[in-house]
Amino acid sequence: MNKFLRDTGIHMRRNILLTLRSPATVLPNMIISLFFLFVYQGGLSGIANMPAFGGASYLAFILPVSVVSAAIGGSGGAGQALVRDLENGYFARLLLTPSSRLAIVLGPMIAGMLQLIIQTFLILCVGFFLGLNIKAGFAGFLVVMGLAAGFGLGFAGYSVGVALRAKNAQAAQAGTFVFFPLIFLSSTFVPLEMIQAGWLKVVAKINPTTYIFEGMRQVLIKGWETGPILQAFGAIGLLCVITITFAALSAKQAVSRD
Amino acid sequence: MAKGTIEVMDLEKTFKGGVQAVRGVSFEVGQGEFFAFLGPNGAGKSTTIQILTTLMVPTKGHARVAGYDVNTEPDKIRLEIGVALQETGVDPKLTGREMLIMQARLFGMTSKQAKERAAELLGKINLLDAADRQVGKYSGGMRRRLDLAISLVHKPTILFLDEPTTGLDPVNRFAIWDEIRDLNRQNGTTIFLTTQYLEEADQLAERISIIDKGKIVVTGTSAALKRQIGLDVIELTFANVIDATTAVNALQGIGKDVQRQDTHLKLYAENGALLLADVVRAIDAAHVHPTQLNVAPPSLDDVFIQFTTNSAQPQASSVTKEVIV
Ligand SMILES: Nc1ncnc2c1ncn2[C@@H]1O[C@H](COP(=O)(O)OP(=O)(O)OP(=O)(O)O)[C@@H](O)[C@H]1O
Ligand SMILES: [Mg+2]
């Protein structure tokens, strides 16, 4: 176990170093997410005067969208890092060491998760700068960070799974974009009650992203209430179980000796 | 006990899709021995190395490396072996030093030990100047040398080298030769090397197996192999391919076998000197004149060509073959 943690740490550190060394792989996504935050806040904040918003600030309402889109856009990094290793032969070099096999794929996933935690932190900082006030206080801040981290791990797992199967960089990136619609098939811009189309309402109810939005909004706007928060973490737990199982199965295949 | 040894029995590897890359290979390598696999493209050299280095399981047969079974004890084998694959395994975004440290850490060294070992190896392979540059900016030769150093981090008792000098200029090739010769002689490291270069096997290895189409054709010391073909070679060079082709036809029936590569001809015969007059008469009658002519005992090159082409057409040893090496 000790060796496993040590190996994971070594692989994680390398991946963090690589991310820091090529900021161009992270910055565009970060900037786009902040851009969304500014544009939605600037262009749509008027609708927060409608009664369905219950007097909430639109900034607090839209911030989770920025957080989640940054997470989805940034989660491809873990998979791409592995594809790079596969392509330049370093993956085989790692398999020739006594390193734990699981640590080899977990390292980039955790590095990817940390990247998303930092992204979320920066988005919140910009939010504070724009006047964000978290209703549930510091605990609320931790909930938003925790949800973003979980979401990040879930998507990093997915991107690693796709990368190890497809073994090419484009597929690894395209694989995560498939999930962009999830952001918009949800209570993205207006509360669930205000969604007009019946089909969209149904889709939004099934979409786990909705529960993440709701959980974050709960602590940002209304204050601490256990129900929606648990639902959000539940949705993320489910997502993680599915994607990490997928990653583990793909990894097993990639390190197999057949 | 069996530290530093390799034992292979009836090894076979059939890939999904049916390619039989290795078809019943058996050999043994003793502790401290320098052993070479010599074979053309697609012979099964890399496949054999991947099986012995735990990257792949064989379809059939057995192999023990350092006394451990490749099927059931890969973890133990990994601690004993150093491997430089045909495709170098380096991360272009890391520096040479970082790669060595990372490798050392994965083999269980502390951060301090890893740094010391990295510096020591960088000095040894003459890369101290480039140590803190990203590997992506290294030349091919530097990358190969680094790859070799990475495989030595944990002081392996057996070293596997898959075509370690392919694509290198002579300076880099000799540097690598010196390094691995030292490892073998001074540290007693067992070395399993594959190569397409006959000169390389001849220079370095104590024992050579020639492998072709997944089978070992012959094994022996380079001297024994040369003796085994037992033929002299009459070499002729012509001004152009047309003359050379004409000469090939004119020389049919003289000696055992004529082979042409571009403008260069090799005629194999049991006693070259005696046949020389016949050869000169035959090409003179065909009105072509060599720019160079000499008689020599066989080189390892000739052994290689003889064995690999004969294994393709076992019955056709006196037919003209065009050999592109
Ligand atoms: N993963 C694979 N799947 C299917 N066939 C393969 C695979 N790897 C190798 N082969 C085939 O197996 C045969 C032996 O390949 P191998 O790489 O062992 O040859 P080699 O002796 O190393 O050749 P070279 O000198 O070109 O490196 C070839 O026909 C090759 O195409
Ligand atoms: Mg090969």
Residue B115 is predicted with a pLDDT of 97
A-chain residue closest to B81, CA distance: A96
Spacing of C-alpha A151 from chain mean position: 4
User: Cβ contact (<8 Å) for B108 and A98?
Assistant: yes
Structure tokens at A220: 């940002």
Q: Is the pTM of this model over 0.95?
A: no
User: What is the Cα–Cα distance from B109 to B100, expressed in whole angstroms?
Assistant: 11
Q: Does B95 touch chain A (CB under 8 A)?
A: no
Q: Has residue A118 got a pLDDT over 70?
A: yes
Residue B314 is predicted with a pLDDT of 37
Instruction: Give the residues surrounding ligand 1 with Cβ less than 6 Å away.
Output: B 15, 17, 19, 21, 39, 41-47, 86, 196
Domain count, chain A: 1
User: Cβ contact (<8 Å) for A10 and B88?
Assistant: no
Residue B85 has its nearest CB partner, among A18, A21, A92, at A92
Residue nearest to atom 2 of ligand 1 (CA): B15
Residue B313 is predicted with a pLDDT of 40
The DSSP annotation for A176-203 comes to HHTTHHHHHSSSSSS-GGG---HHHHHH
Residue B1 is predicted with a pLDDT of 53
Residue B78 has its nearest CB partner, among A22, A96, A258, at A96
B-chain residue closest to A97, CA distance: B78
Residue nearest to atom 17 of ligand 1 (CA): B46
3-state DSSP assignment of residue A88: coil
A-chain residue closest to B70, CA distance: A257
Structure tokens at B229: 């073909």
Residue B65 is predicted with a pLDDT of 97
Structure tokens at B27: 């050999």
User: Cβ contact (<8 Å) for B56 and A257?
Assistant: yes
User: What is the Cα–Cα distance from B114 to B120, expressed in whole angstroms?
Assistant: 10
Residue A35 is predicted with a pLDDT of 86
Looking at the DSSP assignment, which residues form a beta bridge with residue B34?
Answer: B191
Determine the average pLDDT of the residues in A190-198.
81
List B residues 123-152 in contact with A (Cβ-Cβ < 8 A): 150
Q: Which residues, by Cβ under 5 Å, contact ligand 2, an ion?
A: B 45-46, 86
User: Cβ contact (<8 Å) for B89 and A21?
Assistant: no
| Domain carrying residue A42 | 2-257
Taking the CA of residue A85 and the nearest CA in chain B, the distance in Å comes to 7
Report the residue count for chain A: 258
Least confident interval from A56-65, A93-102, B58-67: A56-65
Residue A131 is predicted with a pLDDT of 83
User: What is the Cα–Cα distance from A252 to A246, expressed in whole angstroms?
Assistant: 10
Residue B324 is predicted with a pLDDT of 30
Residue nearest to atom 25 of ligand 1 (CA): B41
The tens-digit pLDDT sequence of chain B (325 residues) is 588 999 999 999 999 889 999 999 999 999 999 999 998 889 999 999 999 999 999 999 999 999 999 999 999 999 999 999 999 999 999 999 999 999 999 999 999 999 999 999 999 888 999 999 999 999 999 999 999 999 999 999 999 999 999 888 888 899 899 999 999 999 999 999 999 888 899 899 999 999 989 999 889 888 777 766 667 788 899 999 999 999 999 988 888 788 888 899 988 887 777 888 889 999 889 899 899 998 877 766 677 777 776 544 433 333 333 333 2
Candidates B100, B105, B135, B155: best to mutate against A (most CBs of A within 10 A) is B105
List B residues 185-204 in contact with A (Cβ-Cβ < 8 A): none
Residue nearest to atom 27 of ligand 1 (CA): B41
In testing the pocket of ligand 1, which one of B11, B13, B15 has its CB within 8 Å of the most ligand atoms? Answer: B15
Query: Which chain A residues contact residue B105 at CB under 8 A?
Result: 10
Q: What is the DSSP letter of A130?
A: T
Q: If you measure from the C-alpha of residue B11 to the centroid of ligand 1, how many angstroms do you get, rounded to a whole number?
A: 15
User: Cβ contact (<8 Å) for A92 and B55?
Assistant: yes
User: Cβ contact (<8 Å) for B85 and A258?
Assistant: no
Q: If you measure from the C-alpha of residue B197 to the centroid of ligand 1, how many angstroms do you get, rounded to a whole number?
A: 18
A73 pLDDT tier (thresholds 50, 70, 90): confident
Strand B6-14 with B20-29, pairing: antiparallel
pLDDT 10s digits, A200-240: 888 888 888 899 898 999 898 888 888 888 989 999 999 89
Q: Which long-range contacts (CB under 8 A, 24 or more apart) does B218-226 make?
A: B218/B303, B218/B307, B219/B27, B222/B300, B225/B300, B225/B303, B226/B297, B226/B298, B226/B299, B226/B300, B226/B302, B226/B303
Candidates A87, A91, A97: best to mutate against B (most CBs of B within 10 A) is A97
Residue B311 is predicted with a pLDDT of 47
